[in-house]
């Protein structure tokens, strides 16, 4: 029974990761396709980026298979020992948390990579990387650290989204507010416009 449950869990993990990686590759293909004509519909730069991304996803899946089969036990033991000896690993978890937030929310790449699977893949990698860096002892990634990473990443993205609307401008940045300012300025302050006379009639929008 236990063996059957273990196999079912392994199959579920493999299937979930395969769907995630395949979906991310498809979304990356949609981004890269149509960028040029150097090779098919790809520019040379985006073809290279897409190829690297596909190889990265394949490497992740192969690593997962080897991990489930127990072939990476010695490698993980070395990583754990190295992490425990280096105190700066815990501090570097902050960079792991901040970088994807900055990359996706405050750069133009966040507009390019809006796909659900790509963002979920990035989030998953960040969660496990943060859990690994903040864990201690002989554990690769503890449950408490994993749950803490989930909470921190979710809070970081939520706060970053909210802060995007914060500016030093005293009024709303929405269309309605700007339209209202225009209407009242043309009604009570025509003199500030060099091409509008006091007797001109202006239709409000």
82 found inside a domain: no
Q: How many domains does the chain have?
A: 3
Q: Are residues 97 and 162 in the same domain?
A: yes
Quote the tokens at residue 189.
């302050």
Residue 88 CA to residue 84 CA, distance in Å, equals 10
Query: Is 79 a domain residue?
Result: no
Do 103 and 139 belong to one domain? yes
Residues 161 and 96 in one domain: yes
In the chain, count H helices and then E strands.
Answer: 8, 0
Residues 67, 114: one domain?
no
Whole-angstrom Cα distance, residue 56 to residue 49?
A: 10
Q: How far apart are the C-alpha atoms of 145 and 139, rounded to whole Å?
A: 10
What residue has token string 């991990």?
Answer: 67
Whether 177 and 159 share a structural domain: no
Under a CB-based contact definition with an 8 Å cutoff, are residues 46 and 101 in contact? no
Are residues 34 and 98 located together in one domain of the fold? no
**55-60: average pLDDT:** 96
Residues 158 and 122 both lie in one domain: yes
Read off the pLDDT of residues 179-190 as tens digits, 9 standing for 90 and up: 667 676 777 766
Pick 181 or 108 by higher pLDDT. 108
- Domain end (from 10, 38, 71): 71
26 within domain boundaries? yes
The predicted model scores a pTM of 0.73
Domain of residue 181: give its range. Answer: 173-205
d(CA 182, CA 164): 24
Instruction: Kindly state the average pLDDT of the residues 91-106.
Output: 83
For residue 120, being part of any structural domain is answered with yes
User: Is 87 a residue whose pLDDT tops 80?
Assistant: no
- One domain, residues 66 and 93: no
Q: Which of 1-10, 69-78, 99-108, 129-138 has the lowest mean pLDDT?
A: 1-10
Q: Do residues 93 and 162 both lie within one domain? A: yes
Residue 28: pLDDT band by 50, 70, 90 thresholds? very high
pLDDT tens per residue, range 141-181: 878 888 988 888 888 878 877 776 666 666 666 656 666 67
State whether 120 and 183 are in the same domain: no
Q: What is the mean pLDDT of residues 48-53?
A: 94
Residues with Cβ within 8 Å of 64's Cβ and at least 6 positions away in sequence, in order, are 13, 14, 17
- pLDDT value, residue 175: 59
Q: Give the residue with greater pLDDT, 75 vs 176.
A: 75
* pLDDT given for residue 52 in this prediction: 95
Crossing angle for the helix pair 2-32 and 116-134, to the nearest 10 degrees? 120
* Tokens standing for residue 89: 């690993």
In degrees and rounded to multiples of 5, residue 42 shows phi and psi of -105, 140
Residue 73 has pLDDT above 90, yes or no: no
Q: Is the pLDDT of residue 61 over 90?
A: yes
Whose tokens are 């700066």? That residue is: 88
Which DSSP string do the residues of 124-193 spell out, in sequence order? HHHHHHHHHHH--TT-SS-HHHHHHHHHHHHHHHHHHHHHTT--S-SS--SHHHHHHHHHHHHHH-GGG-
Q: What is the pLDDT of residue 99?
A: 86
């Amino acid at each position: 029974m236990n063996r059957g449950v273990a196999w079912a869990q392994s199959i579920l993990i493999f299937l979930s990761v395969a769907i995630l990686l395949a979906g991310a590759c498809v979304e990356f293909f949609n981004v890269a396709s149509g960028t040029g004509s150097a090779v098919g519909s790809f520019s040379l730069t985006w073809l290279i980026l897409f190829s690297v991304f596909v190889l990265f996803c394949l490497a992740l899946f192969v690593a997962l298979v080897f991990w489930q089969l127990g072939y990476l036990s010695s490698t993980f033991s070395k990583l754990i020992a190295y992490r425990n000896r280096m105190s700066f690993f815990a501090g570097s978890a902050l960079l792991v948390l901040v970088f994807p937030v900055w990359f996706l929310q405050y750069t133009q790449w966040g507009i390019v990579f809006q796909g659900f699977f790509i963002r979920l893949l990035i989030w998953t990698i960040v969660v496990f990387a943060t859990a690994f860096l903040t864990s201690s002892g002989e554990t690769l990634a503890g449950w408490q650290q994993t749950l803490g990473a989930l909470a921190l990443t979710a809070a970081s993205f939520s706060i970053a989204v909210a802060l995007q609307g914060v500016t030093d401008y005293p009024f709303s940045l929405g269309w309605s507010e700007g339209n209202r300012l225009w209407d009242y300025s043309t009604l009570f302050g025509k003199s500030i416009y060099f091409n509008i006379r006091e007797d001109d009639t202006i239709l409000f929008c």
